[in-house]
Amino acid sequence: MRQRQRRFLQWLRSGLCRDCGQHASDRHFDHVVGPKLFNIGSGNEMTRPTWTQLAEEIMKCELVCPGCHVVRTMMRGVLWRPPLVSDEPPF
């Protein structure tokens, strides 16, 4: 991701949490509107979004702290759970 985009995302994440109002150094973009095309703030040289794509995706989100993001995701019932790891075969 370009340095300018990275600074822009850091600036966006510096606000208050939409749910609890706490100010912390980290914010999550909670996708709340329309189809999610990509994860904001992730990607590599091959999948880097354009400024327009980035702005459009950000407009579909609300900024929340990590704790509130987990609560929101759990309330929606879409929290990803990793598969159980076991040394025993599943049969």
pLDDT at 10: 75
Q: Which range is most confident: 4-8, 65-69, 72-76?
A: 65-69
Amino acid at 65: C
Residues in the chain, total: 91
- pLDDT tens-digit profile of 13-40? 677 899 998 876 678 889 998 888 888 8
Exposure string over 52-81, b if 16+ CB within 10 A, otherwise e? eebeebeebbbbbbeebbeebbeeeeeeee
